[in-house]
Structure 1
Amino acid sequence: MIFLLIAAVAAVVTFVASRIVLRLALKHGIHPPVRERDVHSRPTPRLGGAAMCIGVIAALAVASLVPEFAGVFAEPVRVWTLLGGAIAICAIGVLDDLVDLDWMLKLGAQILVATSVALFGVQIVSLPIAGIVVPSATMAISLTVLIIVLVMNAVNFIDGLDGLVAGTTIIGSTAFFGYIWMISQNFAQQNAYFSLASLITSIIVGVCVGFLPVNWHPARMFMGDGGALMLGLLTAASAIAVTGQIDVGTMGGRSQILPAFIPVLLPLAILLLPLTDFALAVIRRVANGNSPFAADRRHLHHRLLDMGHSHLGAVLIFYSWTAVVSIGCLLFLIVQWWVAVGIMVLGFIVCALLTAAPVGRRVWRTFLRVMRERRARRTGLQPTSASIDSQGDSR
């Protein structure tokens, strides 16, 4: 109930702030022109990140008053450094949405914010596989900065369709919260459930739930770089906060295979699509002699649209892949490993069929057209193209 309260505060404040920001943006014409790579056709404000940031601030303020979170705020530097980093990266993103900053400047700001979080907020000190310790403080900070910057950009790269980032983040973060909740049962402390990771994850879910109504297709406002980068920062920080401190390999569990790897696999699973899109984009752009951060229209969501999916259909496919991967990894802690593998394989098959559905329909219609043409030639009749198309469509 406490986590639901925090998530509800984040959702309500974000929703109200989104409506206010949207009204101000439309009143003062604060929206960039439509770019060639955009999938929307009318100018739309990209200031959703500002409203989401207000929701994060409000939720953390309420959490600081809840006695159960006293242990989290006993180290206030960690919390306020993370909040300061979220505000800073959101401000950089909003500024970029307004004036289009140079990519080197944006990357430098991201590294600076990530370094601050690594120094005073959260950092990886060990890996949850047999208690492997990071050899030095410098390596721990460098690894943490690399992960945070990578996740921020990965989340930002897939922010190209209405409701895409908010929805996938809700699904993945809910699964990750379930993971934190289950592993907390292995600790004797009564306040084990109330950790920085669980608090941040619940706030992430609440903020995305509050923003989704104004971002659902057709979106009235986008979260922009400000919102996407901030979500990436908070998602990475919550994963690092729990992954770098818990050795699940010593806990046992119902699954006899892979339990020690779940703390590493689950964050990667949640971010599988963003990280894949990020890696493909960097390779593609560098191979073409462009900057790795040069925008184009060849992201995964653009490819789904080009395949023939509708806007909503492409978003739902992303939701499906995210749900199958994240929930599938979570199942390894709940059921026997072979059951979890079977469910994931079945989910992959269904998602693959849904993804390839437009291509399958085109192949089927082409097959029908060829068969009718052959039949017509054998019978001496010459069907019109219109009749062939209509018959194929009716099938």
Structure 2
Amino acid sequence: MSGAGVPLRELGIVLLVAAAITYLATGPVRSLLVRTGRVAEIRKRDVHTQPTPSLGGVAMFSGFVAAIFLADQLPALTRGFAPVTPEMTAVVWGAFAIVVVGVIDDLYELGALTKLIGQILAAVLMSTMGLSFTLMYVPFQGGTTLLLDQVQGSLLASVFTVLLINAINFVDGIDGLAAGLGMIAGGAILVFSLTVLHDQGGAVSAYPPAIICAALVGICLGFLPHNFDPSRIFMGDSGAMLIGLLLAAASISASGKINMSLYGTADVVALMSPIIVVAAAIALPVLDLIMAVIRRVSQGKSPFAADRQHIHHRLLALGHTHRRTVLVLYLWVSAVAFGAVSFSIFPAKFAVALSIVLLVFAAVATAVPALRGKIGPQPPQPTVIVHSADPR
């Protein structure tokens, strides 16, 4: 143990193994796809000019499974596995199911309804196997928690998981974006889980989200070198939906299983920090998803219809380059997610000040093209790489 009840060293090993296996497996996966001609063909709605392999999720899943297997062998982390808790078994099977759906979609392009059914089945599988909400904290009620029965908890967890899967899938429209957001969001929830492990002396309920997030951060970190602009391989639906499911799993485990009444009622923000962190971590993809659905339905289109009005498209229109657009989005997600988690670590006044500084920094970075002004000839419009697996 690296601290009281906090297995930092072991979680660090899990993260590094996930990153290394994912990084090493991505090359062979890409080579196999290129040799067999399994590459994403250029379609009318795509703007990338080179056919690109789109099964990076297979390498990411390989890294995840290897990391979870290792974690199960480490004595300091065994409290996060069966028979103590069924959550890790549930998330592995849920991840396997969603990757199977994603691989089929990447290779044969499933219809929207068929893919949604597959997502629901994976979410229901994970929730019924033991990863579902059991406790919901009620703010301003003296630390009251609501107990959910199995049906209520599983239903809520399944809906939440499907929402997260589609949110990440929708935002996966530019090189490096989904992997970076998954890494940042997972990192924020990991920090919260480590805080709970420290404060509660190694609470069993905090082990699964910490392990899941360590593996999630690792697979995203390992895939990014292959996927950052210019991308040599796309993660495809198999990767984007895997990130969404793992983020949902960590969120459910962190906010649904940790009894926040143990912290007292003096600081409402600190008490609500698991929910706030979860909301902050998924704020960007969910906002993008909601805006896309409203926009398309208001125009009389299907909510699944592709367009080029996502947040990253708007940043490109402001004058940001491809890479800078991704970095700006990283900044916003980092500012909100880590600003929120800071309330569970620092005094409220310091946390508020830190959150404001982070948000101002992100706002200034966003406004840089406008602040610079349009002087001289305009630079060429950067190429937007919309992933052929799912550009929505």
- Any idea what SS the aligned residue of 1:127 has? strand
Instruction: For 1:310 and 1:4, locate their aligned partners in 2 and report how far apart those are by CA, in whole Å.
Output: 33
Unaligned runs of 5+ in 2: 1-8, 378-392
- Any idea what SS the aligned residue of 2:307 has? coil
What is the correspondence of 1:88-237 to structure 2 with a 5 Å cutoff?
Answer: 88-129=97-138, 130-188=143-201, 190=202, 192=204, 195-237=207-249
- Any idea what SS the aligned residue of 1:42 has? coil
- The C-alpha deviation readout for 1:7-61, integer Å capped at 9, x for no partner, is 1111111111101001111112211223444453211111100110111111111
Amino acid aligned to 2:279: L
What percent identity do the matched residue pairs reach? Answer: 36
- Any idea what SS the aligned residue of 2:344 has? coil
Task: Indicate if the aligned counterparts of 1:186 and 1:251 stay in contact, CA closer than 8 A.
Answer: no
Q: Could you say which residue in structure 2 is the equivalent of 1:305?
A: 316
Q: Could you say which residue in structure 1 is the equivalent of 2:380?
A: none
Q: Could you say which residue in structure 2 is the equivalent of 1:291?
A: 302
In the TM superposition, residue 158 of structure 1 has moved relative to its aligned partner by 0.9
- The C-alpha deviation readout for 1:287-344, integer Å capped at 9, x for no partner, is 2222222222211111111221100010000110011111111221232323222222
Matched length: 364
Task: Indicate if the aligned counterparts of 2:10 and 2:77 stay in contact, CA closer than 8 A.
Answer: no
Amino acid aligned to 1:238: A
TM-score (norm 1): 0.87
In the TM superposition, residue 135 of structure 1 has moved relative to its aligned partner by 4.7
Relative to structure 1, the CA distance from residue 37 to residue 121 in structure 2 (aligned partners, 3 Å threshold; closer, same or farther) is farther
Task: Indicate which of 95, 98, 102 corresponds to 1:86.
Answer: 95
Instruction: For 1:101 and 1:264, locate their aligned partners in 2 and report how far apart those are by CA, in whole Å.
Output: 33
Relative to structure 1, the CA distance from residue 107 to residue 43 in structure 2 (aligned partners, 3 Å threshold; closer, same or farther) is same
Relative to structure 1, the CA distance from residue 302 to residue 102 in structure 2 (aligned partners, 3 Å threshold; closer, same or farther) is same
Task: Indicate if the aligned counterparts of 1:249 and 1:259 stay in contact, CA closer than 8 A.
Answer: no
Instruction: For 1:77 and 1:247, locate their aligned partners in 2 and report how far apart those are by CA, in whole Å.
Output: 18
Amino acid aligned to 1:10: A
Amino acid aligned to 2:173: G
The answer to whether residue 270 in structure 2 is matched with residue 259 in structure 1 is yes
Instruction: For 1:328 and 1:37, locate their aligned partners in 2 and report how far apart those are by CA, in whole Å.
Output: 37
Relative to structure 1, the CA distance from residue 223 to residue 321 in structure 2 (aligned partners, 3 Å threshold; closer, same or farther) is same
Instruction: For 1:327 and 1:124, locate their aligned partners in 2 and report how far apart those are by CA, in whole Å.
Output: 23
Higher helix content, 1 or 2: 1
In the TM superposition, residue 191 of structure 1 has moved relative to its aligned partner by 6.4
Task: Indicate if the aligned counterparts of 1:81 and 1:120 stay in contact, CA closer than 8 A.
Answer: yes
Task: Indicate if the aligned counterparts of 2:168 and 2:178 stay in contact, CA closer than 8 A.
Answer: yes
Moved more, 300-309 or 14-23: 300-309
Task: Indicate if the aligned counterparts of 2:205 and 2:253 stay in contact, CA closer than 8 A.
Answer: no
Q: Could you say which residue in structure 1 is the equivalent of 2:64?
A: 56
Task: Indicate if the aligned counterparts of 1:13 and 1:210 stay in contact, CA closer than 8 A.
Answer: yes
Q: Could you say which residue in structure 2 is the equivalent of 1:386?
A: none
Instruction: For 1:12 and 1:52, locate their aligned partners in 2 and report how far apart those are by CA, in whole Å.
Output: 10
Amino acid aligned to 2:137: P
Amino acid aligned to 1:267: V
Instruction: For 2:323 and 2:47, locate their aligned partners in 1 and report how far apart those are by CA, in whole Å.
Output: 12
The answer to whether residue 361 in structure 2 is matched with residue 341 in structure 1 is no
Instruction: Compute the RMSD of aligned alpha carbons.
Output: 2.0
- The C-alpha deviation readout for 1:181-232, integer Å capped at 9, x for no partner, is 11122324x5648711111110001111111111111010011111010111
- Any idea what SS the aligned residue of 1:356 has? helix
Q: Could you say which residue in structure 1 is the equivalent of 2:387?
A: none
Q: Could you say which residue in structure 2 is the equivalent of 1:328?
A: 339
Instruction: For 2:20 and 2:116, locate their aligned partners in 1 and report how far apart those are by CA, in whole Å.
Output: 32
Q: Could you say which residue in structure 1 is the equivalent of 2:80?
A: 72
Instruction: For 2:372 and 2:259, locate their aligned partners in 1 and report how far apart those are by CA, in whole Å.
Output: 48
In the TM superposition, residue 112 of structure 1 has moved relative to its aligned partner by 1.1
The answer to whether residue 12 in structure 2 is matched with residue 4 in structure 1 is yes
Instruction: For 1:246 and 1:336, locate their aligned partners in 2 and report how far apart those are by CA, in whole Å.
Output: 21
Instruction: For 1:127 and 1:53, locate their aligned partners in 2 and report how far apart those are by CA, in whole Å.
Output: 30
Task: Indicate if the aligned counterparts of 1:257 and 1:337 stay in contact, CA closer than 8 A.
Answer: no
Q: Could you say which residue in structure 2 is the equivalent of 1:385?
A: none
Instruction: For 1:295 and 1:352, locate their aligned partners in 2 and report how far apart those are by CA, in whole Å.
Output: 28
Task: Indicate if the aligned counterparts of 1:39 and 1:161 stay in contact, CA closer than 8 A.
Answer: no
The answer to whether residue 251 in structure 2 is matched with residue 239 in structure 1 is yes
In the TM superposition, residue 121 of structure 1 has moved relative to its aligned partner by 2.8
- The C-alpha deviation readout for 1:159-178, integer Å capped at 9, x for no partner, is 11111111122222112111
Moved more, 217-226 or 302-311: 302-311
Amino acid aligned to 1:3: L
Instruction: For 2:205 and 2:249, locate their aligned partners in 1 and report how far apart those are by CA, in whole Å.
Output: 17
The higher-RCO structure (CA 8 Å, 6+ apart) is: 2
Instruction: For 1:231 and 1:91, locate their aligned partners in 2 and report how far apart those are by CA, in whole Å.
Output: 14
Task: Indicate if the aligned counterparts of 1:152 and 1:232 stay in contact, CA closer than 8 A.
Answer: yes
Moved more, 74-83 or 196-205: 74-83
Instruction: For 1:333 and 1:326, locate their aligned partners in 2 and report how far apart those are by CA, in whole Å.
Output: 12
- Any idea what SS the aligned residue of 1:64 has? helix
Task: Indicate if the aligned counterparts of 1:6 and 1:63 stay in contact, CA closer than 8 A.
Answer: yes
Task: Indicate if the aligned counterparts of 2:197 and 2:203 stay in contact, CA closer than 8 A.
Answer: no
Instruction: For 1:11 and 1:348, locate their aligned partners in 2 and report how far apart those are by CA, in whole Å.
Output: 29
Give the structure with higher Rg (CA): 1
Task: Indicate if the aligned counterparts of 2:60 and 2:219 stay in contact, CA closer than 8 A.
Answer: yes
Instruction: For 2:44 and 2:343, locate their aligned partners in 1 and report how far apart those are by CA, in whole Å.
Output: 44
